[in-house]
Amino acid sequence: MKVPIFIEASALRVLVLGGGSEAEKKARRFLSHGSSVTVYSLEFTGWLQEAGRSGALRLIRGDVRDRAAVSALIGEHDLVIYTVPGLPEEEEFAARECESRRRICILSTNAERTMAAMPIETRGAGMRIAVFSGGRSTLVAEIVADEIARCLSGRRDLEVLLEAMGRAKELLKRSVPDHRARMALYRELLGDRRLRELAARGDLEGAIRRAEEFAAEAGARTST
């Protein structure tokens, strides 16, 4: 059973095995999040070749069936993405190597065997939302992501509420050291009538002021 998780990608060393369209898609995504990307393949798409020439990523020409080379590269990276279809034995080798070396492994060719998966991502109400089909259909996941984005479009109240709660969390972490007490205060603020009215009106400044007032009052209460 896979657990949804967001991981900081800017420090990741990513190895993509394969140089086709799927490899390009994965490389583009990780590059956009600041990862260091290496692509290993006999052939590369035009975009990958250009990215390699510009220094945006590293290209290494080689055969995924060269297990010694693949093993050495896996050892140098944090996350490995296998994208080569039609070579199940090499796919399994890459998966086992990642497991034994404790590397995160994404098998684009095998949704059931893969250690990790890359969901479809959308945004709404100031939040990032991931949609995962369990490998059954990325196309349907894209439809669902679009539907979620449509439903959240224009929900200014949720955006305001999110910013106000974030500001209160920032302040309460300084004044209320007990995390259990903070959780109770977060719930209390979320149910605050004044805050909800301000959010419903889309009044970001007013909502943040109310969050700051609440944090100050809560800090004074808990310190006595």
Q: What is the pLDDT of residues 123-173, one digit of tens each?
A: 999 999 999 998 889 999 999 999 999 999 999 999 999 999 999 999 999
pLDDT of residue 3: 87
CA–CA dist 31, 29 (Å, integer): 6
- 149: tokens are 């984005």
Contact 15, 30 (CB under 8 A): no
Could you tell me the pLDDT band of residue 224, with boundaries at 50, 70 and 90? Answer: low
Cα 104 to Cα 62, 74, 184: the distances in Å are 22, 10, 36
- Write the pLDDT tens digit of every residue in 35-86: 999 999 999 999 999 999 999 999 999 999 999 999 999 999 999 999 999 9
CA–CA dist 215, 169 (Å, integer): 8
Closest CA to 63 of 108, 94, 28: 94
